[in-house]
Amino acid sequence: MVHAADHLSAQELETLSTQAIAAKDTAYCPYSKFRVGACILTESGEFVQGANVENASYPVGTCAERVAFGNAIVSYQLYTSLPPR
């Protein structure tokens, strides 16, 4: 379940932002060259990253947020927060 970010500490918000920016380095975007990173905070306090993945068939790519959620799900983590936009 995603909650409002108002319950997060300044340090958690900073970590979410920093890790989302760092995740951009792992993006696979040979067509647009537009790197996107995301980070979510799990209920256990882990930060899970994701980055966009493009496909030659343009609409089939995967956004960074979906990759982060997928990474959390496959590692059996429940997410609690996303950084505010």
Known catalytic residue: 12?
Answer: no
85, pLDDT greater than 90: no
Considering only CA atoms, which of 16, 84, 76, 27 is closest in space to residue 50? 27
- The answer to whether 72 and 78 are in contact (CB under 8 A) is yes
Q: Which two tokens stand for residue 72?
A: 């959390």
Tokens 């059996």 belong to 76
Sign, CA dihedral 52-60-71-40, equals positive
pLDDT tens per residue, range 20-54: 999 999 999 999 999 999 999 988 889 999 999 99
Provide the 3-class DSSP secondary structure of residue 60.
helix
Neighbours of 22 (CB within 10 A): 13
> Considering 12, 14, 54, 65, which one is annotated as catalytic?
65
* Alpha-carbon span 22 to 39, nearest angstrom: 9
pLDDT for the residue numbered 79: 60
Domains of the chain as residue ranges with CATH: 5-81 (3.40.140.10)
pLDDT for the residue numbered 50: 98
